[in-house]
Structures are given as C-alpha cells and as structure tokens.
Amino acid sequence: MTIDPDLQGRSYPAGETYSVGREAIRDFARAIKATHPAHYDVAAAAALGHADLVAPPTFAIIVAQRADAQLISDPSAGIDFTRVVHADQRFVHHRPILAGDQLVAELHVDQVRAMGGGAMITTRAEISTVDGEATTTTTSSILVRGEDQ
C-alpha cells in the first residue's frame, strides 16, 4: 500500500456525536489508574466549581481516535492499520470536558512526510460541543511503517 501524498490538507467533517457519560469517565479514569475524586464523585467535582464529573486530561483521545478512524479506514488514503505506530500526541484544552457534553470532532490532515518506505502523518482533531463551543484540540502523529521497516 502507498500513502496518498495528496492527503495533506484533507479534512473530514464532524461525524457521529459522542455523548460523554459519567460511567465512561469513571471507566476511563480507572483504566489509566487515575484516582482523583473529580473523575468519580459529582460532589467532589462541584466542590472544585465543575458542573459534573471532569474527564481526565487524555480522555479526548476516545473522540480523536474515532475521528482518526475516518482517515485510517478511508481506502483512498492507503493506510495499513497494522503498520501504524503512534509517534506523538498533544491535547490543548480550551475548557475541561465534563460529563453531559455532546462532542463532535472535525479532522484535519496537517502534514504528510515520507519516511523511508513509509510516512509520518500528523492529524488534528478540533473537538467542540454540538453547539459549537470548542473544548479540545488534539494533535497526533502516526508513523505508517513501510514494508521493509
């Protein structure tokens, strides 16, 4: 498979809405061994001034990877998922993600660089509520290894 060099600059519009549930926040927090009470206890979150449970700083990866899936599963992109390695990741939070948020993500392919027989692809997911309030910008680079790597 060959990575389409024209991927750079491509965008994918917001797909399905992701509804942030309290149990999803609790499950994700448990999965990364986060113990802060603001992830589990609504009263503890309220004591810090938050309207509901606060998602851990990396929770947005769920929404970002769903958006990435649009690119990775797009046959015209030419990406072999089994050869993908996560190279870097960044989360910029415009406001914390809270239980009850209805989120959508628009995906942008910011950069495609040839690396040996493979490619390094940098994507950016702009995550916002369905009402258009920006919550998080995630940036992710994946290395798609070439056949000989």
Out of 12, 67, 79, 91, which residue is the one contacting another protein (CB under 8 A)? 91
Closest CA to 10 of 81, 102, 78: 78
Report whether 20 contacts 100 (CB < 8 A): yes
Q: Which two tokens stand for residue 139?
A: 């940036």
Considering the complex, what minimum distance in angstroms separates the CB of residue 6 from another protein?
27
Out of 3, 14, 71, 96, which residue is the one contacting another protein (CB under 8 A)? 96
Out of 9, 21, 27, 133, which residue is the one contacting another protein (CB under 8 A)? 27
Q: Which two tokens stand for residue 89?
A: 């990741």
Assess 35 for contact with another protein (CB under 8 A). Answer: yes
Q: What angle do CA 7, 61, 120 make, to 5 degrees?
A: 30
Assess 66 for contact with another protein (CB under 8 A). Answer: yes
The alpha carbon of residue 76 and the mean position of all alpha carbons in its chain are separated, in whole angstroms, by 21
Q: For another protein, give the closer residue by CB, 6 or 133.
A: 133
Rounded to 5, what percent of the chain is helix, strand, coil? 25, 35, 40
Question: Under the rule (CB under 8 A), what is the footprint of another protein?
Answer: 24, 27-28, 30-36, 38-39, 48, 50, 54-58, 61-62, 65-66, 81-83, 85-93, 96, 139
